[in-house]
Amino acid sequence: MLKKLFPYTKGYRLLILGGILCSILESVFELLLPKAMSNIVDVGMANGDRNYILAMGLRMVLLALAALAGGIGAALFAARAGMGFGAQLRQAEYEQVQRFSFANIEHFSTASLITRLTNDVASMQVTLMMCMRIFVRAPVMLITALVMALTISLDLSQVFLVSIPLLGLGVILVITKVGPYFTALQKATDDVNLVVQEDLNAIRVVKSFVREDREREKFARRSEHLRDTAMRAFGFVVIFMPLVTLIMGGTIVAINWIGGHYVFNGLMLSGDLIAFFTYATEILTSLMMVSMVMMMLTRSIACAKRIVEVLDEKPEITDAAADNALTVENGSIRFDHVYFKYHPTAEAWNLDDVSLEIPSGATVGILGGTGSAKTTLVSLIPRLYEATEGTVSVGGYDVKDYTMEALRNGCAMVLQKNTLFSGTIAENLRWGRDDATDEELRQACAVACADEFIDKMPEGYNTRIERGGSNVSGGQKQRLCIARAILRRPKILILDDSTSAVDTATDARIRAGLRTTLPGATKLIIAQRITSVMDADLIIVMDDGRISAMGTHGELMERSQIYREVYQSQQEGVSIDG
């Protein structure tokens, strides 16, 4: 795991090393102080040697200053290295996500990818910072303090034979027990949050049915459960500190008793006894620090695992077999016995033996019920997914022969669930083509019937779109997305139910516009409304992953029962808006 993340420390390894060194120096210098103190007491004070005390005191101040420098150095190095490492890791992960295909993205889900890129990376950079400081410091302190204690008195150090295992036992007990408590706590918290989330989303339903009281009760139950779980979890955690106080106290009493005898019998000097107390406390605190670091590490290992999963994910679709020089020359499309399924383990095919041929420049309508694989079918054309079996060809070549850039330049798709990005309308449109002139933007918007509302906006094409396009209506968003795709001047244009929120008349105008502006481009239109596809050169009727029928409106009315049914059901009425 850590080996996988190690490469991202590149460029910061010297800093890390320097930080660790500083940390070690701070700890060692710090622990030389008590011994120096005991020298002042046992030599300087005992002999009444003023100069010795002054010299030793000066030495102590210098040691403390050196420790100060080490401590601050470690902090500065840790900050720089931790943040640098985090930035590199985040970048690598982000670039990896950019290489992902649709299937890869779905494998993780959007929300999870965001967490892995934000919270998980943040947790890793904090971990590195803490590691450089505490994780190095704690064992160094433990060892140094132990060595110092042993040199002062081997016999007295036997006290640790009891107290260290005792403390260790306490630590292990707490760490092993605390996990389940906190898992339960997390679950109880999630339960409470779920009720709030659902209540907020469904507030109109709640109010309509006058179910406020029921929601209150539901919430109260979960909330009280959370309280009880939290009390158990935190109630357990707080045992730890008093336990440590107790062990520490016991150790000090024991040292006093045994050490007292040694001092009286002249086996030990009183200054050494005082220094020994200090070392004893340091040993026990550093042990606690080690255990705290362990707890933190287990948490960040979970984060590291999640990041490594992203880094290790194999981008499903690559340019490996592509010919760099190839571009899409015409818009002909061919499916040759294509089979496809989203999950390799699934039993049924999502696309089951699909073969079809579409000449360049044709307008093709695709109809079919929900789940009949209309979207799946068209997604294979710009290679958003890879056909499991069979080949998909565009412009006479297998889609795998094109680089993704070339293929997607030649083939624009307006997704069903489309997104705009924060920025001006013009900036969003230029996603279609970077160097489009203002005039070209206007033309594309005219075709997509987007000009009518853009012109009404106070700032026109410079109107800012909020994140996700939340400040434009569904129909406006769809029209902007269509304009964006038109700007690409594609050889193939795919509209996946892209006018569902646009009224019928506008829908018809958009289709007419496409015919005249992109006469040579192959146009694939997925629609619910039969009027949207009725005048197409070819209509494909999908049913359960197969092509049920193909032909013109007239032919299908004769041949296809599904088509007739859909036609008749819509003939009874016409949709007038979304």
Q: Which of residues 232-261 bind another protein (CB under 8 A)?
A: 234-235, 238-239, 241-243, 245-246, 248-250, 252-253, 256-257, 259-261
8 A C-beta contact, residue 40 and residue 57: yes
Site for another protein contains 344 (CB under 8 A)? no
Least spacing, CB of residue 43 vs another protein, in Å: 10
Q: Which is nearer to another protein, 503 or 555 (CB)?
A: 503
CA dist 52 and 136 (Å) reads: 34
Helix axes 270-312, 119-130, angle to 10 degrees: 150
Q: Does 278 bind another protein (CB under 8 A)?
A: yes
- Based on its alpha-carbon atoms, the radius of gyration of the chain, rounded to whole angstroms, reads 36
- Least Cβ distance, residue 517 to another protein (angstroms): 19
Cα angle 120, 125, 127 (rounded to 5 degrees) comes to 90
Could you give the residue ranges of the DSSP H alpha helices within 238-269? 240-264
State yes or no: residue 524 binds another protein (CB under 8 A): no
As measured in angstroms, the least distance from the Cβ of 576 to another protein is 5
Name the β-bridge partners of 363. 523
What are the residue ranges of helices labelled H in 399-450? 404-410, 425-429, 438-447
**Of 170, 331, 365, 382, the one binding another protein by CB under 8 A:** 382
Task: Return the ∠ at Cα 373 (arms to 367 and 375), rounded to 5°.
Answer: 80
Beta strands 351-358 and 333-340 are antiparallel
CA atoms within 13 A on the CB side of 245: 5
Residues 77-106 contacting another protein, CB under 8 A: 78-80, 82-84, 86-87, 90-91, 94-95, 97-102, 105
Considering only 5, 24, 25, 37, the residue that binds another protein (CB under 8 A) is 37
Indicate whether 310 belongs to the interface with another protein (CB under 8 A): no
**Residue 578 and residue 575: Cα distance in Å, rounded?**
8
Stretch that binds another protein, among 157-165, 265-273, 286-294, 326-334 (CB under 8 A): 265-273
Neighbouring-strand partners of residue 494: 413, 524
CB of 209 to another protein, least distance (A): 6
With CB under 8 A as the contact rule, the residue among 8, 28, 30, 358 that binds another protein is 30
Question: Per CB under 8 A, does 35 bind another protein?
Answer: no
Q: Could you say which residues in the range 424-483 bind another protein, by CB under 8 A?
A: 431-432, 467-468, 470, 473-475
- End-to-end Cα, the chain, rounded Å: 50
- Check binding of 324 to another protein (CB under 8 A): no
Shortest distance (Å) from residue 337 CB to another protein? 26
CB closer to another protein out of 224 and 438:
224
Structure-token pair, residue 99: 């290489």
**Pattern 144-183, binding to another protein, x per CB under 8 A?**
----------------------------------------
Contact 74, 133 (CB under 8 A): yes
Within 13 Å of residue 500, how many CA atoms lie on the same side as its CB?
Answer: 13
Contact 74, 138 (CB under 8 A): no
Looking at the Cβ atoms of 298 and 575, the one nearer to another protein is 575
Q: Is 331 in the site for another protein (CB under 8 A)?
A: no
Binding segment for another protein (CB under 8 A), chosen from 322-330, 342-350, 358-366, 503-511, is 503-511
